[in-house]
Amino acid sequence: IQEAPSSQSKSPEPGKVRDDAGRDSPNTAASTAKSSRRDSLSEKIVHHDLHALPNQPQHPSASTALPARGVTPPQVTDIVKKMLPDNTAAHTAAQGGGELFEKFQRQKLNREQGGVNNNGDSTKSTSSQQNGQESGGMKVPNQSESHQNGNGVPSQENEDPLQANEARPKFVAVTSIEDVQAVRCAEFHPNGKVYAVGSNSKTFRICEYPILENIRESHTTYQPHVLFKRTKHHKGSIYCMAWSPQGDLVATGSNDKTVKLMHYNEEQQQLEGSEVELTMHDGTVRDLCFIEDSTNKVSLLISGGAGDCKIYVTDCGSSTPFQAYSGHGGHVLSLFNWGGAMFVSGSQDKTVRFWDLRSRGCVNIVTPATVPGSRQGSPVAAVCVDPSGRLLVSGHEDSSCVLFDIRGNRPIQCFKPHASDIRSIRFSPSAYYLLTAGYDNKLVLTDLQGDLTMPLPSVVVAQHADKVISGRWHPTDFSFLSTSADKTATLWALPPI
């Protein structure tokens, strides 16, 4: 295994990325993260959005179109058109959003006239405010207008965790697996037809994703159809798992210090061939993610955890670890990749590190501040990056959630959607919403459509009898999986309206 040079002594300047020759990339200091709505992911970023952000260089390249996140069914678009005022219906319909929660957002949360803040109280929608500069009907405040916490980090004035309220969307528990021990991880296959579940009982399952068309609020939860089950899959608890982008590989990590790599037959919906056991870690494997190497047409597996706190890159074609990244001073708790070559890692050392496989090293280090008025941070238990690669979200053990502008290399906001540790963070398929899972037994949905420096509307959408360990969105549907210390893995969905 080739040891990548430690980045502690030669970390690049904040906001800059260096190429293989050690040169600074020219456009990495441009700020775009604070600009307007999350729904701009499916439309062009217009120049005046950037103009509203002070003290940041502007680049013509920022006007390039971003890829749309899926296609809106015509019937859903029609519903959204009817729900919104005439002046915004066409704008919203054009953005390809149209998720089922959109109707709940307009009806139950009254987003156009009065939303729900993180205390469950009615609050005026920031999108309807007319003071300051606006973009697409959304206010884009100057830095001087943002409510900041003394460290340059805008924070919600009242950080009490969200309380359940009558306006919350009624997600129902469709299916639920009952295990004999805590269920730590569950992941959807890329095609969305099946999902895998791993537990402390060492049991690995592949379950069928049900048809949701007939789900109603009165639905009775049932056990899912298990297509594959293996007991004693590891010698220890299954801590994490991941599917390859093509869906032909699935990997699991354990506190037995091993990673298991298996081939999956999509047609037969079964594992096939012999599994490969990787033993390069000397501590618990806490997280995994795949990156597709399109040049060499091979999947790369990124894995990290406890012990030496190194992050390993494995060539899945040869089942050979070929790169080890050092730098973290504490256990690696979370990994997330995007863009084909970039990934981030969150650690117990309170830092988030950005890595680029092309430069074979760390390209930036961030210590998200979670305490107002100071630079004090908290162990990073979960990390996630939006599809455009602009917005980092980190979840912390002190219940904080931090939004960070990647290109501008600056924090945007710190808020607390939970009353205890945040252990999982994921964007919805369109990146309009954020799903967080916490040790307060709750899963919380946060609306990211709006000025990201202002308080963000959040609602509790699901709850377990014990700590929630992970939450994962379905790749296309507005449904999600949750795993918990209450020994269950539950599929939640929003009934058709």
Task: Name the residue with tokens 């009817």.
Answer: 82
Q: Which residue shows structure tokens 């099946």?
A: 194
Per-residue confidence band for 17, with pLDDT thresholds at 50, 70 and 90: very low
Which residue type, as a one-letter code, is found at position 52? A
434 within 8 A of 425, measured Cβ to Cβ: yes
Confidence of residue 373 (pLDDT cuts 50, 70, 90): confident
Residue 408 contacts residue 34 (beta carbons within 8 Å): yes
Q: Is 180 exposed, middle or buried (0-12, 13-18, 19+ CB in 10 A)?
A: exposed
Please tell me whether residue 439 adopts helix, strand or coil conformation: coil
| Mean pLDDT confidence for 293-297 | 78
Domain 172-493 sits in which CATH superfamily? YVTN repeat-like/Quinoprotein amine dehydrogenase (2.130.10.10)
pLDDT for 298-343, tens place per residue? Answer: 899 999 999 999 999 999 999 999 999 999 999 999 999 998 899 9
| Whether the Cβ atoms of residue 476 and residue 429 lie closer than 8 Å to each other | yes
Give the per-residue pLDDT at 6.
Answer: 52
The Cα 372–Cα 151 span in angstroms is 7
Closest CA to 342 of 383, 284, 371, 308: 383
Give the CA count within 13 Å in the CB-facing half-sphere of 331: 15
pLDDT tens digits for 171-225?
999 999 999 999 999 999 999 999 999 999 999 999 999 999 889 989 999 999 9
For residues 26 and 143, what is the distance between their CA atoms, to the nearest angstrom? 24
In 3D space, the residue among 181, 193, 338, 321 whose CA is nearest the CA of residue 251 turns out to be 321
Alpha carbon separation from 288 to 33, 240, 269 (Å, rounded): 26, 7, 22
Q: What is the pLDDT of residue 296?
A: 76
Residues counted in the chain: 497
pTM, entire model:
0.72
Distance, CA of 317 to CA of 471 (rounded, Å): 30
Beta partners for residue 425, in sequence order: 436
**Residue the block writes with tokens 């047609």:** 267
Domain map (residue ranges) of the chain: 172-493
Distances in Å between the Cα of 315 and the Cα atoms of 276, 293, 379, 420, 421 are: 12, 9, 30, 37, 34
Measured distance CA(236)–CA(258) in Å, rounded = 9
Token pair for 313: 């890159």
Tell me what the pLDDT averaged over the chain comes to: 75
Helix (H) or strand (E) holding 102: helix 100-107
Per residue in 45-82, pLDDT tens?
222 232 222 232 233 233 223 233 333 334 333 332 33
Neighbours of 9 (CB within 10 A): 6
The answer to whether the CB of 381 falls within 8 A of the CB of 396 is yes
Q: In what order do the strands lie in the sheet with 172-178?
A: 172-178, 488-493, 479-484, 468-473
Task: For residues 14 and 458, give the distance between their C-alpha atoms in angstroms, rounded to a whole number.
Answer: 31
| DSSP secondary structure code for residue 18 in this structure | B
pLDDT one-digit tens code per residue, 255-282: 999 999 999 999 999 999 999 999 999 9
Report d(CA 45, CA 32) in Å as an integer.
Answer: 9
